[in-house]
Structure 1
Amino acid sequence: DTGTFVLEFYPDAAPVAVDNFIKLINQKFYDGLTFHRKVDAPGLNIIQGGCPEGDGTGGPGWTIVDEHTNPNQRPHVRGTLAMARTSAPDSSGSQFYICLKPQPHLDGDYTTFGGVIQGMDVVDQLSMGDVMTKIRLEAKSKYVKATAE
Structure 2
Amino acid sequence: MARLLSFLSALVLAAVIGLSPAGAQSTDPENTLLLDLKDGQVVIRLRPDLAPNHVARIKELTRKGFYDGIVFHRVIDGFMAQTGDPTGTGMGGSDLPDLKAEFSPEPFRRGTLGMARSQSPDSANSQFFIMFADGDWLNRQYTVFGEVVEGMEFVDNIKRGEPVQNPDKIVRMRVAADAN
Per the normalisation by structure 2, the TM-score is 0.72
Report what 1:96 is aligned to: 128
Of 115, 131, 141, 1:109 maps to 141
- Please state whether the residue corresponding to 1:132 is helix, strand or coil: coil
Larger proportion of strand: 1
1:52 maps to which residue?
A: 86
Aligned residue in 2 for 1:22: 59
Cα offset for 1:89?
A: 2.3
Q: 1:53-111 CA deviation, whole Å, 9 max, x = no partner? A: 1010000022111101x4xx421000000100001121000000001000001001000
Match of 2:24 in 1: none
- Dislocated runs of 4+, deviation >3 Å: none
Equivalent position amino acid for 1:9 in 2 = L
Distance apart, 1:40 and its partner CA: 2.1
Question: CA–CA distance in 2 between the matches of 1:31 and 1:51?
Answer: 11
| 2:117 counterpart of 1:80 | no
Q: Which residue of 2 aligns with 1:2?
A: 39
Unaligned runs of 5+ in 1: 145-149
Q: What's the Cα RMSD here?
A: 1.4
Give the total of aligned pairs. 135
- Give structure 2 stretches of 5+ with no counterpart: 1-37
Q: TM-score, normalised by structure 1?
A: 0.86
Amino acid aligned to 1:118: E
Identity of aligned residues (%): 39
Offset from partner CA, 1:89-145 (integer Å, 9 cap, x none): 2100000000100000100100000000000000011114101110011117xxx9x
Q: Distance in 2 between matches of 1:139 and 1:96?
A: 21
Q: Where is the helix percentage greater, Structure 1 or Structure 2? A: 2
Taking the aligned partners of 2:140 and 2:177, their CA distance within structure 1 comes to: 32
